[in-house]
Structures are given as structure tokens and as C-alpha cells.
Amino acid sequence: TGSTRPQRLLKAVQKNATKGDPQSVISTIDHFCRRCEWAMNVGDEKGTILDSVVCEVSPGSTLELGTYCGYSTVRIARLLAPGTKLITLEFNPDFAKVARQVIEFAGLQEKVLLVEGPSGDIIPKIKEQFGITTFDLVFLDHWKDRYLPDTKLLEECGLLRKGSVLMADNVICPGTPDYLAYVRSSPKYDSKYFKSHLEYTKVEDGLEKSVYLG
Ligand SMILES: O=C(NCCO)c1cc(-c2ccc(F)cc2)cc(O)c1O
Ligand SMILES: [Mg+2]
């Protein structure tokens, strides 16, 4: 039986990147996706925008929804201050299996907690299970029809505080229309669109940065 795209991406990392060097893992994945096989990582263009927000927020606690192969997990975790952690949720066990190995190859496993399962089930348990009060930064990059329900769930579970920052990938392509309408019309958010392109393509996409006002 053949390999999967995530498995081929992992092989490229193991072959071409330098163990313990997050930047080499990022560069290897971007090269693989441009030259060999497109994959749905946030990519280098939107990734640079994400980096700037991570540095601006310098979060004590971060949540990522949608790990995939761990590319954005590595991008975010490499910028986190010592002693701070990122919790990343992934529904697909095959993606999670690859992501664990990519994160470990980058040497960032101490800063990352990868939790497998449906975000809708895990989010209500985060406070009690992981001793989190609120998240300073949330990166939404999972199923596009889960952005809105999971954002409402984060609010209801008291996991957001005044100033918490939500960064949402793919608000144009594939698109998250209900989420976008909500954060742009709700008095509870101050929202801003960062125009960019779908990873490794010329197609328009972008990130929406939404600050929770409480
Ligand atoms: O589904 C996505 N993520 C959740 C996976 O569990 C996703 C999809 C795409 C994409 C796919 C197919 C296409 F034609 C265009 C875009 C891009 C992304 O950045 C994504 O995050
Ligand atoms: Mg995405």
C-alpha cells in the first residue's frame, strides 16, 4: 500500500532538515510543498503574518485548532517564551501521528501538547484537564465549518479574556463565511483582515485577526 502525503512530507523533513532546528523544518516543508506536492500548511507568506502576531502577543497560553502535519505548530512554538506552552488539537489520527514526529524533529515537544480528538468535545474539558484559565492566542486552522461553533464554545467555557487574540486561517479560501460575519459584526470583537494568498499559490486568501473585547 502506498504512502500518504503527510508521510511523504515527514520523510522530506527527516531527509533534508536539521534535527532540533525549527527553521530548517519550516524551510524544508515550504520547499517540499512548492516543488513536490502542495499541502494545506499555512505556508510561508501567511506564516510570516502569523509570526508577527505571535511576537506582538507573546502569549503565555496558546491554542491551535487543526495541527495537520505540525507546520504552524512549529512556527508558533519556535517563537514562544521559555516555560510557555501551545495546546494543539487534531481530529485525524494519521495527521496527529505525522505531526508528533515533525514537532519532535524540530525539538519543540516540551512546548507542545498535541491532543487528538474532536475540538467540540475537548474544548469544554481544557480548563480542568490542562489547568488553563484563559488563552492569550488562538490559531484557527481546522475544519472551516467548526470555526464559528468552536469560537462560541471558547466564549461559553470562559477560555477567552479581554484582549485574547483569535487568528483565523482560510477566511477567503476555502472560506469561513459564517465565522467572518460573526467576528466582524459582533460588538464582542475588534476584527481586522490581513490579505494574503492561499499557501504556495497566487489565489487570494487571508488571515482574520479578532481581538476579544469581553
Ligand atoms: O481543510 C483545511 N484545514 C483543515 C484540515 O483538517 C484546509 C484546506 C485548504 C484548502 C484545500 C483545498 C483547496 F483547493 C484549497 C484550500 C487550505 C487550508 O489552509 C486548510 O487549512
Ligand atoms: Mg489553513
The two beta strands, 204-212 and 160-168, are antiparallel
| Catalytic annotation present for 127 | no
**Each residue of 161-210: pLDDT tens digit?**
999 999 999 999 999 999 999 999 999 999 999 999 999 999 999 999 99
Find the ligand nearest to 65 CA. 1
Find the ligand nearest to 198 CA. 1
Closest C-alpha to ligand 1, atom 19: 40
The residue assigned the cell 469544554 is 124
**Each residue of 114-135: pLDDT tens digit?**
999 999 999 999 999 999 999 9
Selecting among 30, 64, 90, 199, the annotated active-site residue is 199
Report the predicted TM-score, pTM, of the whole model to 2 decimal places.
Answer: 0.99
CA gap 100, 79 in Å, rounded:
18
Closest C-alpha to ligand 1, atom 17: 40
